[in-house]
Amino acid sequence: MTREAGFTLVEVLVALSIFALVGTLSTGLLVTAIDARERQEAAMDRLVELQQIRALWRDDAAHMVMRAHRSADGGYDGRALAGLAEAGLSFAPDSRQLAGFTRRGRANPGEAADRSSLVRVDWRVEGGSLLRDIWSVTDPAPSSAPQTMVLASGLEDVSVSFRYGRNWLAEPVRASNSGDAPVPEAIRLSYRDPIGREIEHVALTVTAGTAS
């Protein structure tokens, strides 16, 4: 009697075991590759976010103008540079202002538009999110709505400080009775990001290096 060609039960079981092992290894490699890609994309997103905050913070500081703005009653008693202790223009109840001031630099080629190149900017934190508000006018009405950019989320310990001479102060220096408020040489934005890194953005103003 001749034996028919085929596989024994042991051979089939061995083959299935090998296929199962290869499949398990392939799945593990695929999951690892997907996780690595997601981590890389998250790192790139954080880098882009960091660069945007730094660029806007430095640009606003470089174009800062110490100009008092109109307060809610219409008088020019609004501080030229507001810090944490100042109320914002139209903030939510859980929002906290970091820095607010007038800045120049809005393009108006050939003065084609009937408007100033000055705008009002406010940096604030709300529920762990860093926000930048910008008004197209320097003296916005209390009920007016700004253009708001959400720059980052999940932040902690967000603060701003102002450098005068060799000292970093938690609040900007107020104007004296005999003159305008001095311009800080630099402003610093500090916070802890969602992965626990301590981040600082230091930006120079127009007065940096001009003090005697």
3-state secondary structure 74-121: CCCCECCEECCCCCCCCCCCCEEEEEEEEECCCCCHHHCCCCCCCEEE
Q: What pLDDT, in 10s, does the model give residues 102-161?
A: 888 766 555 555 556 788 899 999 989 999 998 887 777 666 788 999 999 999 999 999
Residue 97 included in any domain: yes
Residue 96 included in any domain: yes
SS3 content of the chain, % helix, strand, coil (to 5): 25, 30, 45
pTM: 0.73
Average pLDDT over residues 36-53: 86
Residue 167 included in any domain: yes
3 has pLDDT over 80: no
Residue 189 included in any domain: yes
Distance CA 142, CA 8 (A): 86
Average pLDDT over residues 178-184: 76
Comparing CA positions, the residue from 93, 84, 90, 85 lying closest to residue 72 is 90
Residue 3 included in any domain: no
Geometric angle at alpha carbon 190, from 87 and 207, rounded to 5°: 75
Residue 62 included in any domain: yes
Q: Among all chains, which residue has been given the structure tokens 């981590």?
A: 39
41-45, 89-93, 116-120: which range is least confident on average?
A: 89-93
Q: 119: domain CATH number?
A: 3.10.610.10
Residue 75 included in any domain: yes
Q: H or E element: which one contains 152? A: strand 147-152
Q: Which range of residues forms the domain containing residue 62?
A: 52-204
Structural domain count of the chain? 1
Q: Which SS3 state, helix, strand or coil, does residue 186 take?
A: strand
